[in-house]
Amino acid sequence: MGDWHSRSVSQVMEEVKGNLGGLTAREAARRLEQYGPNQLAQPQPPGLLLRILGQLKDPMILVLLGAAALSLLASGGEDWLDGVIILVIVVVNGVISITQEDHAQQALEELRRMSSPQATALREGEPRKVAAAALVPGDIILLEAGDQVPADARILECSRLQADESAMTGESVPVEKRTEEALPADTPLGDQVNMLISGTLITAGRGTALVVATGMDTQMGHIAGLLLDSSSGDTPLQRRMAEISRSLSFLCLSVCAIMFGVGLFQGKGLLEMFLTAVSLAVAAIPEGLPAIVTIVLALGVQRLADKNAIVKKLPAVETLGCAGVICSDKTGTLTQNKMTVQQVWLPPGARRRDAMVAGALCSDARLEWKAGAPTASGDPTEGALVVVAARDGVDQNRELERLPRVADIPFDSTRKLMTTIHTDPEGGWVALVKGAPDVLLDRCVSTPKGPLTPGDRGRILAANEGLAEKALRVIAVARRRLDRLPQNPQPSEVERELTFLGLFGLMDPPRPEVRSAVARCHLAGVRPVMITGDHRSTAVAIAKELDIARPGDWAATGAELDFMPQELLENDIEKFAVFARVSPEHKMRIVQAWQKRGKVVAMTGDGVNDAPALRAADIGCAMGKTGTDVAKGAADMILTDDNFSTIVAAIEEGRGIYSNIRKAIHYLLSCNIGEIFTIFAATLLGFGQMPLAPVQLLWLNLVTDSLPALALGVEPVEEGVMEEQPRDASAGLFDKKFSLRLAWQGLMVGGLTLAAYFLGFTRLAAPGMEGAVANTMAFATLTLCQLFHAFNVRSEDRSLFAQGVLSNPAMNRAFLAGLAMQLSVLLVPPLQGVFSVTAMSAPQWLTVMALAMAPIPICEWAKSVGRKEKAAEAKEAAVK
């Protein structure tokens, strides 16, 4: 980017080869060909074939495709149901992934749309309306209130020119622009008063400017480039799923190889062992896992939508659950993005009404009433004075009828004052003046009670300092009675011998609900950090009020970050609570520094300047009401109520969703371990036949790997989840406790199945029926055992009876559906033949039911032991 603000006007004019009369049509056309249109570049999205091939990079997808082929081979191609189901799951997941919106592309499209479609430029020495896309460096453009700035430009001349740059810099107040000859090279973007930024809005005045950059060379183009350069990394959930995929792939291949080798060593047939090994591989792969995870996330998205959060990417829901840092923009996110009078100070003897009248009438803002409440259009600061006066009973419209405005002296940055002159109904005229307190005070000679004394002056200055220390913007008001109306009012003639009326302290106030949301963040171990383009003093004051900045926390400005190496920032990042006057690059550096410390970062924001950091964060949260379309396009989640507390509720929901996904994985893998153990142990023990036929394994997966796992996915968020520290995003899903729980519960399921097989083969079958009865009892026990075991997995440590056995309606329906499906296979004669089962006697049924229900008392005992150990550890820690 060019340092246009730090050069003289003549240097800039020479650099871009411009002239005050504007360009000729021929020269403009030549430059348009040289520089290209004043538009943002749009990358070509990958084709559909490349997107489809990209899906094959997921290890789980490859495993599932292999499982589909193996399931067909296991049944000789006759039973194709499970293979087709697996392929459908792969296709559904691929479609969901491919149809996810390309966020960078959306953000770029919105950036392009924001560019002003028309502009007024000097061509052939005459003002002409031209397409904004046709502007080139060297063009002279004319701007007035209401215009959108079409390109980056250096101001040549202006009158009361102000621009709303909040979307680009975070500055909540319109910036007064001036024709400064040159500024220091390191002047932050928000302080470059001699420049106009593409995409911002002219709110007051008029000006002439020289175009210095167009298209991708503008500040907005720079942000577009950052969006293209910043790629979205894998979410924690995607990393966990990849981990599971790799583990399952290794497990399947290893077990199949061992099984195949052991069978051949025992002298069994090659084809028989191949089909057995393939059946085991199908049993070991929870083919419904990706679909179940997707559905659980989708259900979470629906719940979040009810809480005013729209999630654009499913994995982003789970990512919130391990968020350890929320980097939040100040303006419009933590604050209301609305200047408001916070305090009014009056000198002794002054009437509050007099100060209110001066604030309301010495203004170009206009009072409007909407639904019985006062609002104002125009400059935000002036509007705040008009609104506070209306709330105090001083209606600007009625006062203007009483005191008609007959003349004014506009505000300018040199004298820092504005004056309006009104006809006084009591005779003569009254001049009302407002502006910077120190400047205004020098022109005052009295207060309402009498002459201005040194003591009065000291009290006024002390009050001004007190308000400024609270990061309030201070405006002073005064008046003077005139015996005659000047024909051409001049500041030197009117703005003297004033009577001081009072001080107004203004600020963009915090949202009332944010402080409680910040408190919940601290309780949940989530660090809130303020990142803003506003001034340090204002940012720190707001951060302290919201308890974002605590004693000992640091604050830094963008200028300080420029001199801070990234390595140093990464080392000290946890010491900072506030970053002020920062650019888009700074925001990205801050987010990346936290990520380097191993934190999952959520970034909230609403402006164009927030978009790159929203994109770079693990999860970007844009404001739905005040947020720009660019920010919404770059974000993963949109808060429709612009409420900071909504993100805290989303974090709680994310933690609950992760817990439910973990429960589903726990259930699926523990059951599959039981299946693996059953067949593997039978092979090693040299059983004459396998306890389960290939078709039974396929049916078993269909019945138990779907509905119960989905029911676990809709478990309510457990109590106390927001009193825990965020989980480490780098920690594996299979920690020691989780792995041990999977192992012993899987062995329990497999052991109970083998017990059913053994009892059926040796004790309960009629002569000649041993094999059929044993196989049927093993098949029935394994299926029903898994259905009952789903109730155990609803909580890792809480008793099922404390939760309420029937407290999850979805689990009740899943159990009944699975039970009905299994009973139909066991009891309906045509299906008995298809699935190689035989009718069972009453003792056989009683044995099956007893073994199938055994996991509930076994797991209840294990949970009780675990709770006692946890209580003992907590007691020991408290003693220490």
Q: Which two tokens stand for residue 349?
A: 């003897």
Q: Measuring CA to CA, how many Å separate 14 from each of 17, 188, 193?
A: 5, 24, 21
Residue 621 φ then ψ, to 5°: -120, 110
In this prediction, residue 614 carries a pLDDT of: 84
Report pLDDT digits (tens) over 283-312: 666 666 666 776 777 777 778 888 888 887
**Bridge partners for 737 per DSSP:** none
The residues, ordered by sequence, that sit 6+ positions from 598 with a Cβ below 8 Å of its Cβ are 728, 729, 730
Quote the pLDDT of residue 544: 92
Catalytically annotated residue among 139, 147, 217, 329? 329
- 648: which 2 tokens? 């805290």
Amino acid at 100: Q
The Cα 767–Cα 535 span in angstroms is 90
Q: What confidence tens digit (pLDDT) does each residue in 417-458 have?
A: 999 999 999 889 999 999 999 999 999 999 999 999 999 999
- The rounded distance, in Å, linking the Cα atoms of 721 and 423 is 66
Query: From CA 430, how far away is CA 428, in angstroms rounded?
Result: 7
Report the candidate in 69, 65, 77, 74 with the shortest Cα–Cα distance to residue 690.
Answer: 74
Q: What percent of the chain has pLDDT over 90?
A: 37
Give the distance from CA 624 to its chain's centroid: 11
H helix and E strand count, the chain: 35, 25
**Residue 114: pLDDT over 50:** no
pLDDT in tens, 815-833: 999 999 999 999 998 888 8
Structure tokens at 484: 């005659």
For this structure, is 329 an active site residue? yes
Amino acid type, 597: R
DSSP-assigned letter for residue 227: H
Which pair of structure tokens corresponds to residue 274? 């191949």
At residue 112, the pLDDT reads 44
Residue spans of alpha helices (H) in 349-470: 352-361, 380-391, 396-402, 437-442, 454-469
Q: Name which of 416, 532, 473 is nearest 178 in CA terms.
A: 416
State the pLDDT confidence band at 77, using cuts at 50, 70 and 90.
low
Interatomic CA distance for residues 728 and 76, integer angstroms = 46
Q: Could you give the 3-state DSSP secondary structure of residue 374?
A: strand
The distance of Cα 201 from the centroid of its chain, to the nearest Å, equals: 26
- Contact assessment for residue 710 and residue 815, using Cβ atoms and an 8 Å cutoff: no
Is 148 a residue whose pLDDT tops 60? Answer: yes
Share above pLDDT 70 across residues of the chain, in percent, rounded to a whole number: 82
The phi-psi region of residue 502 (left if phi > 0; otherwise alpha if psi is between -120 and 50; otherwise beta) is left
